[in-house]
Amino acid sequence: MTGLGNLWRQSARESFEAPGFQGDLAVDLVIIGAGFTGLSAALAAAGQGATVAVLEANTVGHGGSGRNVGLVNAGLWLPPDDVCRALGEAAGEHLNTVLGGAPDVVFDLVTRHAIDCEPRRAGTLHLAHAPKGEAQLKARLAQMQARGAPVQYLAADEVAKRTASAAFGGALFDARAGTIQPLAYARGLARAAAEQGARIYEQSPVTGAARHGGQWVVTSRSGKIRARRLLVATNAYHQPLAHMSMPSVPVVQYFQLATKPLAANLGGDILAGGEGAWDTGLIMTSIRRDEAGRVIIGGMGSEAATHTNWAERKLARLFPRLAGFEIEHAWSGKIAMTQDHLPRILRLGREGLAIFGYSGRGIGPGTVFGRAAALALLSDDESGLPVPGVDMYAERFCTLKALFYETGARLVHLGAARS
């Protein structure tokens, strides 16, 4: 392995740089976190004529937005019936509808703002890793088709043609979805928001946030921002703030490895249609190609030798011709995974919201949740939020839950490496 780190940082054609924040500033909306959620919110609010400031502790897309797989999915991990059971029929169907249309929102923004992020709307394949996975997919298929979603079940022979692998028993194909270069998309959102007048600041970690005199006062190491409205959009990368506590949510690691670009005669038939893919395993595996022809494989777990060895062996099992082929990039990120795999919008007193818990589905949900939160805050009307806001949220044993996923990943990957 050459160890070149995060592929998305090396290949992003969108660039964005912003100064650090200094001084004293008053705006309509202050946003903490420059990922998909915060940047989508900034773009929407600035487009409404509001004054907006975004404070990012590192650089735009530093967190999960610049480390994820790049699948623009429609919906959540949960099947739509499960969403309705968790939220109630009306709220559940509203969320299903909003997220079913999330790829439309993402690809519309990409087109409207000419974001150079390798967009490809060729659908996704949810792959059955075992017979029980086939049953799960067929149940999900019925639920999605009952709601009019353009999905279809593909038999094993068709899946083998599309993936160039005989490892899967079947797949659910969703024509609404697609792939992007995620960091380039985040940077493009930042550029578009700045063009609309939003002020974005990098290397500006927030140290505290509290209400004083009917407004939010957000402090950093070098200044202070006053705003009537606040959005916290830090998700799995939240840092402690003075005068504000956020609920603990289990944080799961997800790693990815990318091959060198493959010549057409070696890899041209692997996901030749451009679909992104992931499987039904509890310890999930994702597979996709990028525009340069790399095969990118990912799985739950930290970026440790155990997982790297597994990924190399997994790649060879899926595509025997790639056995021993050099891995060029390896990187990892963090996922905030709520107990029921549903995102949450937490009210922070008056005129403040925090969004978290995408459970690995950050691109579509982050984009639509961020936009909806900005419009709700500006209008003082929560009726357009994808999920109802809550006044409190708590989970127990978050560290143990995170350890469960990491241990499970290690055991699965060690077992696969020895088989």
Whether 1 is in a domain gets the answer no
Q: Report, as an integer, the average pLDDT of 333-345.
A: 92
Q: Locate tokens 């070696």: which residue? A: 266
pLDDT score for 248: 85
Name the residue range of residue 20's domain: 7-418
What's the predicted TM-score (pTM) here? 0.95
Q: Encode pLDDT of 183-205 as tens digits.
A: 999 999 999 999 999 999 999 99
- Please write the tens of the pLDDT for every residue from 76-106: 989 999 999 999 999 999 999 999 999 999 9
Structural contact between residues 6 and 338, judged by C-beta atoms closer than 8 angstroms: no
Give pLDDT, residue 307: 67
What pLDDT band is residue 350 in, cutting at 50, 70 and 90?
confident
pLDDT at 418: 47
> Is 106 within the bounds of a domain?
yes
Residue 40 pLDDT exceeds 90: yes
Q: Mind giving me the DSSP string for 279-326? A: E--SS-EEEEE-TT--EEEEEES-S-HHHHHHHHHHHHHH-GGGTTPP
Domain containing residue 389: CATH number: 3.50.50.60
The 10 Å CB-count burial string (b at 16+, else e) for 319-342 is beebeebebbbbbbbbbbbbeebb
344 band by pLDDT with thresholds 50, 70 and 90: very high
pLDDT-derived band at 417, boundaries 50, 70, 90: very low
Question: Do residues 339 and 273 touch, judged by C-beta distance below 8 A?
Answer: no
| Domain total in the chain | 1
- Strands (E) in 206-294, as ranges, are 206-212, 215-220, 223-232, 251-259, 276-279, 285-289
Residue with tokens 């404070």: 55
In a domain, 326, yes or no: yes
Q: Is residue 295 included in any domain, yes or no?
A: yes
Q: How far is it, in rounded angstroms, from Cα 417 to Cα 415?
A: 5
Q: At what angle do helices 102-112 and 363-379 cross, to 10 degrees?
A: 80
The reply to whether 406 falls in a domain is yes
